[in-house]
Amino acid sequence: MLVVECDAVLFDNDGVLVDSDAGVYAAWSRWARSFGLPVDEVTEAVHGRRAVDTVALLVPEGGRAGALADITRWEVEEAAGTTAVPGAVALVRSLPRGVWAVVTSGVTALARARLEAAGFPEPSVMVAADDVVHGKPAPDGYLAAAKALGVRPDRAVVVEDSAAGIAAGRAAGVAKVVGVGERAVRAGADLVVRDLTGLRWAAGELHVDRATLLG
């Protein structure tokens, strides 16, 4: 086991706690086609980024409000099929409520719908896309979550799957960034695990099973 001393664990949602890839692909594919944009380019660009930021990159200013409303509605419609990443529900349920938070690039309604569909307890602290001015890779979300939990950022561990999220954790000055899944390999995490089956919490320590490491 690898042991990381920490006072809090700050989780990204999509790709870390929940597997929403199918819903993300379905909703953003529909959105891309509605704007005549290449589906593969759009669906590749959305990971770890707020919808409002993706829309701003791809849609002229006058059409952004309607475009954002469309993708928000379609993603919530797809949320019912969300499942949990292996090991995630068990890990979260083993954590005291005051030591974990969710920091997501999804809006609050979408994040709650996906967590509920996947069988998670409601987090006591969640920082969503609509709670911050600057989304990932800016550190705002992780700094806000650490503050809400009453811990120093350098005593927190961030668990992320995307390059933008890993960069946000780094910028927040957290103790360690744990990457999850293939997207996190070579994205700058301190270590990368296949899923959350190998993570365990003991008072003040996050234990990581070496057998689950990738890269």
pLDDT > 70: percent of the chain: 100
Given a cut of 90, is residue 48 above it in pLDDT? Answer: no
How do residues 147-176 score in pLDDT, each as one tens digit?
999 999 999 999 999 999 999 999 999 999
What is the distance between the alpha carbons of residues 39 and 32, in angstroms, rounded to a whole number?
5
Q: Where residue 203 falls among pLDDT bands split at 50, 70, 90? A: confident
Decide if 8 contacts 151 (C-beta within 8 A). Answer: yes
Q: Where are the domains of the chain?
A: 2-20+82-214, 21-80
Given a cut of 90, is residue 206 above it in pLDDT? Answer: yes
pLDDT value for 123: 95
Backbone angles phi, psi at 81, to 5 degrees: -90, 10
Q: Where residue 215 falls among pLDDT bands split at 50, 70, 90? A: confident
Residues assigned a catalytic role:
12, 14
Average pLDDT over every residue of 108-117 = 96
Class of domain 2-20+82-214: alpha beta
What is the distance between the alpha carbons of residues 34 and 156, in angstroms, rounded to a whole number?
41
pTM: 0.90
